[in-house]
Amino acid sequence: MSIANNLLKYKNEIEALNVKLVAVSKNHSADAVMEAYNAGQRVFGENLVQEMVDKQVNLPADIKWHLIGHLQSNKVKYIAPFVKLIESVDSLKLLKEINKQAEKHQRIIDCLLQINIADEETKFGLDFDEAIELLRSEEFSAFKNIRIIGLMGIATNNASEKQTKAEFNELKVLFDGLKLSFFRDQDYFKEISMGMSSDYKIAIEEGSTMVRIGSSIFGKRIIKHWKLQQNEN
Ligand SMILES: *Cc1c(COP(=O)(O)O)cnc(C)c1O
């Protein structure tokens, strides 16, 4: 199946359930992005700042870029002018820098707090307590150029369906709790980004509003450096 066919299959299936599709184009060429774009996709996810910036300057301006990978504070400045959503906020320090760079560009940058729901130590993200502490902090309440519109989580790799379901449920329960405690009157706090190629169906059953699908649309990510791949085409 072509990228366009894959895209349409997932887009139709997912949007019919009122869930948003983020097409994860990391490691794939700008041509691959264009193929999905021409099939109607506008929201794309990247996990590396450099790769996102390179693609953004070469591709249509109406693409909505989501940063889904770990973000270092010193790199926020490169994406601050255009990024649509930073899904992977995992510290107050990072949020502070996003707020600062957003202010420079006179914009408000939407963010998700990435919550660590997996039982792997290597996964980035805030624990429940850390998320609550962040939202309670005085520093957070002073940020005027960021908006937290929800949460993001990645389930444990290759876990049983039962465990995956439980992890997504934890994220949904946390979301509901934070909504009541901190965002009761903020209609914009409404997104739960969870689910990838292997587990998006379970995620949607558990309340996902946004799924991030890469390999099922674009194929396997074989080559690490997307530029090498692009040069081969
Ligand atoms: C790569 C990635 C995805 C997409 O994964 P697939 O299994 O290719 O669908 C989703 N979310 C994050 C955070 C990723 O890094």
H/E segment holding residue 224: none
In-domain check, residue 224:
no
Whether residue 233 is predicted with pLDDT greater than 50 in this model: the reply is: no
Give the total number of structural domains in the chain: 1
Please report the beta strands in 116-179, taking only residues with DSSP state E, as ranges in sequence order: 146-153
Percent of the chain at pLDDT exceeding 70: 94
- Closest by alpha carbon to 196, among 172, 184, 214, 181? 214
Residue range 60-110, pLDDT digits in tens: 999 999 999 999 999 999 999 999 999 999 999 999 999 999 999 999 999
- Looking at residue 78, which CATH number applies to its domain? 3.20.20.10
Percent of the chain at pLDDT exceeding 90: 91
**Ligand 1 centre from 119 Cα, in Å?**
17
In-domain check, residue 24:
yes
- Closest by alpha carbon to 160, among 187, 198, 192? 198
In-domain check, residue 84:
yes
**Ligand 1 centre from 182 Cα, in Å?**
29
* pLDDT for residue 124: 83
Dist. CA 16–CA 34, nearest whole Å = 23
**Tokens standing for residue 180:** 């009541």
Range of the domain at 38: 3-218
* pLDDT for residue 221: 75
- 20 forms bridges with which residues in the sheet? 210
**Ligand 1 centre from 26 Cα, in Å?**
8
Q: Find the helix packing angle between 161-182 and 128-136, rounded to 10°.
A: 20
Dist. CA 164–CA 82, nearest whole Å = 33
Whether residue 151 is predicted with pLDDT greater than 80 in this model: the reply is: yes
Residues 6 or more apart whose CB falls under 8 angstroms from that of 227 comprise 54
In-domain check, residue 134:
yes
In-domain check, residue 165:
yes
Phi, psi of 42 (to 5 degrees): -120, -20
Q: Does the Cβ of 214 fall within 6 Å of ligand 1?
A: yes
Query: Under a CB-based contact definition with an 8 Å cutoff, are residues 141 and 120 in contact?
Result: no
Amino acid (1-letter code) at residue 121:
E
* pLDDT for residue 222: 66
Tokens 């979301």 correspond to: 175
Dist. CA 196–CA 153, nearest whole Å = 10
In-domain check, residue 153:
yes
Query: Under a CB-based contact definition with an 8 Å cutoff, are residues 66 and 44 in contact?
Result: yes
How far separated are the first and last CA of the chain, in Å rounded? 18
Whether residue 231 is predicted with pLDDT greater than 60 in this model: the reply is: no
In-domain check, residue 12:
yes
Query: Under a CB-based contact definition with an 8 Å cutoff, are residues 150 and 189 in contact?
Result: yes
In-domain check, residue 229:
no
pLDDT-derived band at 232 (thresholds 50, 70, 90) equals: very low
**Ligand 1 centre from 212 Cα, in Å?**
6
* pLDDT for residue 1: 80
Mean per-residue pLDDT of the chain = 94
Protein residue with least CA distance to atom 13, ligand 1? 68
Dist. CA 67–CA 34, nearest whole Å = 18
Higher pLDDT among residues 51 and 120, named by residue: 51
**What's the farthest any 2 CA atoms get from each other in the chain?**
52
Residue range 200-230, pLDDT digits in tens: 999 999 999 999 999 999 998 765 555 554 4
Q: Does the Cβ of 48 fall within 6 Å of ligand 1?
A: no
